Structure 1
Amino acid sequence: MSNTPIVDILMYHSISQGSGPTTIPPNVFAEQMDAIAEAGLPVITLDDLVEARNMGKPLPDRSIILTFDDAFLDFAEEAYPVLQGHGFPAIVYLPSDYVGREELWIGSGAKPRKLMDWPKIKELAAEGIQFGSHAVTHSDLTMVTDDTLGIELNVSKAEIEDELGRPVDHFAPPYGLLNSHVTNLASSIYKTCVGTRLAQAGPVDNLHELPRIEMHYFRDITRWKAHLAGRGGAYLARRKALRWVRERLPWM
């Protein structure tokens, strides 16, 4: 155990065939999970992280948290059996207005992916999968009015809690887009908020601005194993630098 634990919060969307950044092929996902098991790194929950911060619960020197945005049906079909086989916990963030429907936010020309319906979500919740809020309408929350922001954050939480009969304490903003206004309101409603800032989470990271590691950067299983072994710092730094440049030079 350590006073300065490092947590890799992994970010997934769809576990299906495809090459886009929000898609990981099922065989690659299975290899990534196998590698975590082989490395012996514990997979913990966001609740464990909250307890460590607020109640002094010790954490391992290094651990993993598994997060899935959008609640696609392929989570149940492809991801969950692999997680179940390893006994790994996970959290799925769902946009409550799209439960049982197809996404509308995918890029032009791509086939929309279907989200899980409430019966499937309830079945997985009963098996131990945790569900968090991904707002109501999967909108860019940095661009909405104050009233709409309150609805997106509060109504999604209430709808999921009503359906599942358990607290919803964790939030992920659609597209990972945050500003101080969204963060401040989310922090009054949820215990954690995860974004898309590319980094490992350390003890000084704000629980409502937690970074994640997007797993499409680690489709190469050799590179993923090196990261798990503590030899991936240079690669992660390079990816962060490239992202910084692309965000400021969008024509690249």
Structure 2
Amino acid sequence: MFHQPTLRVTTILETVSAHNGELTMSEIARMANIPRGTIMPILQTLCGQHFLSMEKQSKRYYIGLRCFLSGASFANTSGAYSGVASIVNMMARESEETAHFCILEKGDVLYVVKAESTHQIRMYSEIGRKLPAYGTAVGKALLSDMSLEELNQLYPDGLSPLTEHTIRDVRYLYDQLQQVKQTGFAHECEESNIGIRCIATPIRYNGSIVAAISIVIPLFRYDEEKRCDIERILTQAANSLENIIPLTDILNKTR
């Protein structure tokens, strides 16, 4: 059983981080399911200690300097993180597209490592961002070992669409995941962002899926040659990542 006051603090930080400084106190309270009377002193303390900052005019909160410094410390001290970042950078360099390393957090994808495309036109994403796993290729890669029963438990309220192309039926999602298991690759076309395709593959540790990697491509740069090239890059990167010892270092530190 977790310590509830501490859990409230971490929930607030994760909520603000996921929305990139877009939230008022009322919005944070609603999303974090914390009463306004309880959340106010927590926000004041976090701002006073510089883990959060508040824009005075709009009264909106965003991540503060000390959170940034904590993240920088993690990147500097984790040997596994450096190894993962190096491989993700290689993926972006070889494909000339944006590359990600992600983990599954409940029913969401958490973006842990990112390397930018060299092109001016590219997908917007950021480290720490979360998206519903069912609406992304990298999420489908992470979910691909799950049974239909596990998926129904993970999404008891069904699948809320991110775009008009997002999967809305858990059974259809399960059928897609069977294809991912057969081919080793998950695909997405405009399910999370209009104009974007994505290809992903899972990363395994002791036989279990612990993470996934993806490469994101604007539709106008996508063709069969590009698909084959990206699948080759993903396969090489996945093999390299699965040989990083201990890969569990980065996974444990992000949970």
Normalising to structure 1: TM-score of the pair?
Answer: 0.32
Normalising to structure 2: TM-score of the pair?
Answer: 0.31
Q: Which structure has greater helix proportion?
A: 2
